[in-house]
Structure 1
């Protein structure tokens, strides 16, 4: 599993240029421009479009290399109740609240859907 923080921004192209200037590489992006992945040596940063009120917010996400149903089963066995596995435009995702009540997202990508 890889860590994949999601940074929300009201200006995805400007934020992309900023992180490229820091040394991240341009990765897959949505065709409408609503999000972009920026690979780095130590992981991937995702930048997603958001309204001004949400700009600057960060979300902790993970990229799983196993079926999300297996992740959900482990979470339940440990006493955490994940939401359902959702069919997304990029693959599948599930969300679960951590012990502090903060949402964490786990994704399983099907890169053929958007690359």
Structure 2
């Protein structure tokens, strides 16, 4: 599993340029340009176009190669109730609240769907 914070922004290109100058690598970008990945040694920063109150927000997410149904079953067995596995334009995801009530996203990516 890789750590993948998602940073929401009104300007994906400008934020991507900033983090590349900071030292992150250029990675895949969605065809419409609303999503960019910036790989790093310890994971990846995802930049996601958004507007309004979401601009500037950062969400904790993880990328896994494990089937999300297995992740959901493990969470339920430990007493945490994940949301449903959702089919996304990039693969699939599920969300679950941590013990502090903060939402965490777990994703399986099929990069050929969006790059």
Give me the whole-angstrom Cα distance separating, in 1, the residues matched to 2:2 and 2:91.
Answer: 16
Structure 2 equivalent of residue 110 of structure 1: 110
Q: Does 1:65 align with 2:77?
A: no
What are the equivalent positions in structure 2 for 1:2-41 lying under 5 Å apart?
2-41=2-41
- Where has structure 1 moved over 3 Å in runs of 4 or more? none
Q: How many residues align?
A: 115
Give me the whole-angstrom Cα distance separating, in 2, the residues matched to 1:17 and 1:71.
Answer: 34
CA contact (8 A) 1:9 1:52 kept: no
Structure 1 equivalent of residue 93 of structure 2: 93
Task: Report SS of the residue matched to 1:8.
Answer: strand
TM-score by length of 2: 0.96
Give me the whole-angstrom Cα distance separating, in 2, the residues matched to 1:38 and 1:52.
Answer: 23
Query: What is the RMSD computed on CA atoms of the aligned residues?
Result: 0.9
CA contact (8 A) 1:3 1:63 kept: yes
Residue segments in structure 2 that go unaligned for 5+ positions in a row: none
- Per-residue deviation, 1:52: 3.8
